[in-house]
Amino acid sequence: MDFRPSPAQQLLVSTAREFLRKRGDDAPSWRAIAELGWPGLLIPPELGGSGGALLDVVLLVEEMARAATPGPFVASAVVATSLLLRAGTLDQQKRYLPAMAAGEGIVGVGVRDDSAVTLDARGRLAGRKLFVEAADAADVLILAAHRGRDVALCLVPSDRAGVARARLDTIGVEPIFEITLDSVAVGAEELMAGGGDAVSAALAAGALARTAEMVGAAQKVLELAVDHAKTRVQGGRPIGSYQAIQHACADLVRDVDVSRGLLYSAAWTLDTGATAATDVAMAKAYAGEACLSVARRGHQIFGAIGYCDEHPLHRLHKRILAAGLDCGNASLHLETVARAIGLV
């Protein structure tokens, strides 16, 4: 096993870090991100992308989270792209993927079975979907629906008659929506070829992308905390000279590094084509708790200033919290690990 970044991946990381550093507090537009080829990272070259690996995505999302970059990257460029590649027909892939790679199309995702949506014999969708990402910016939504005992994946234009969007009040910094479907017509050409297996694979990719988001945000918390410990003077000397703060910073390093190691290992395993459900679950579950601990410990090191709106710590904390819940929280993934070792 060798998941050290290749020279090309190191170039991707350095380019992303420099690009995001120059933007400062100004979030880059989706068009600016698309000019770097990031939305097409997982899309094959013949469809306009760069044919990258999941480990490339993980490294990039780390940098985006470290810089607190907003946008629908995980939902559209990771989960939706994975669904189209695994479950889309050839015509659907040719229709949507080149536009997504060029940044001209964004696809939202509502595939978790957390609410009742049905597709009847007349080809009509009815019901509602909760926690749909990127629904405000998406041209098309991939929605999972019950069709008898099967799961159907539907490509639904977001402006189609009968589709209503309502933003939910959540802790995260990215907008999340409830989608209500009132007898929404779906044509045969809008039904995808795959079902449950494709959803599981796409959510696994999404889980690792969200893990990378947590690791990147926790890395930034670590950097901020260490810098603060070096410069904040209390009792006539920097607080970093006190053993309690040194121990706290050492805990941050441990939690970030172990989370990153599990993340890279799981991404590498998935890229090889091997079964990686347990690896993904371990990475997501561990990071969900460890990175949250980093954020909380960071607040202890900073004190009151970490809660001020002008300080980035509280936004990083929220990002870690939201990413820990998306694509399965720690409890859900720990059940996968328990089953893998025979603890049913």
Which residue intervals of the chain bear CATH 1.10.540.10? Answer: 7-101
Tens-digit pLDDT profile for residues 112-159: 865 689 999 999 999 999 999 889 999 999 999 998 888 899 999 999
| Helix then strand then coil, % of the chain, to nearest 5 | 55, 15, 30
298 neighbors 314 (Cβ within 8 angstroms): no
Span 258-297, pLDDT tens digits: 999 999 999 999 999 898 999 999 999 999 999 999 999 9
| Cβ atoms of residues 68 and 25 within 8 Å | no
β-strand partners of 185: 124
* CATH of span 107-190: 2.40.110.10
Q: What is the pLDDT of residues 86-95, one digit of tens each?
A: 999 999 999 9
What single DSSP character describes residue 132?
A: E
**Residue 51 in this model has a pLDDT that exceeds 90:** yes
Strand partners, 228: none
Question: Up-side HSE of residue 193: CA atoms within 13 Å toward CB?
Answer: 10
Average pLDDT (167-189) is 92
**What per-residue confidence (pLDDT) applies to 114?**
55
What pLDDT sits at residue 55? 95
Neighbours of 56 (CB within 10 A): 22
Structure tokens at 286: 């561990």
Half-sphere exposure of 160 (CA within 13 A, CB side): 24
Q: So what's the pLDDT on residue 43?
A: 97
Residue 149's pLDDT is: 83
C-alpha pair distances (Å), 340 with each of 26, 117, 281, 284, 333: 44, 31, 10, 15, 11
Mean pLDDT in the chain?
93
Q: What percent of the chain has pLDDT over 70?
A: 98
- Write out the residue limits of the CATH 2.40.110.10 domain(s) in the chain: 107-190
**Fold designation for 7-101:** Butyryl-Coa Dehydrogenase, subunit A; domain 1 (1.10.540)
pLDDT value of residue 26: 83
Across 310-328, average pLDDT: 94
What ranges in 180-276 are assigned the alpha helix state H?
Answer: 196-231, 243-271
Nearest to 299 by CA among 321, 320, 314, 287: 314
3-state secondary structure of 158: coil
Q: Is the pLDDT of residue 231 over 80?
A: yes
Confidence (pLDDT) at 71: 92
Banded pLDDT at 174 (limits 50, 70, 90): confident
Buried b / exposed e over 278-293, threshold 16 CB at 10 Å, is: bbbbbbbbbbbebbbb
Encode pLDDT of 194-212 as tens digits: 777 899 999 999 999 999 9
Which residues lie closer than 8 Å to 2 by C-beta, 6 or more apart? 268
Of 97, 74, 73, 78, which is closest to residue 155 (Cα–Cα)? 97
Looking at domain 196-340, which of 1.10.3720.10, 3.40.50.10330, 1.20.140.10, 3.40.50.300 is its CATH number?
Answer: 1.20.140.10
Quote the tokens at residue 129: 């979907």
- Dump pLDDT digits (tens) for 16-47: 999 999 987 788 999 999 999 999 999 999 99
**Residue 116, pLDDT score:** 82
> From the CB of residue 127, how many other CB atoms can be counted at a distance below 10 Å?
17
What local confidence, expressed as pLDDT, does residue 113 receive? 67
| Residues 54, 203 contacting (CB under 8 angstroms) | no
What's the CA gap between 152 and 159, in Å, rounded? 20
For residue 234, which amino acid is it?
A: Q
Which regions of the chain carry the CATH code 1.20.140.10? 196-340
Distance CA(174)–CA(17), nearest Å, equals 21
Please give the pLDDT value at position 115: 64
117-119 vs 124-133, strand pairing mode: antiparallel
* H helix or E strand, kind and range, residue 124: strand 124-133
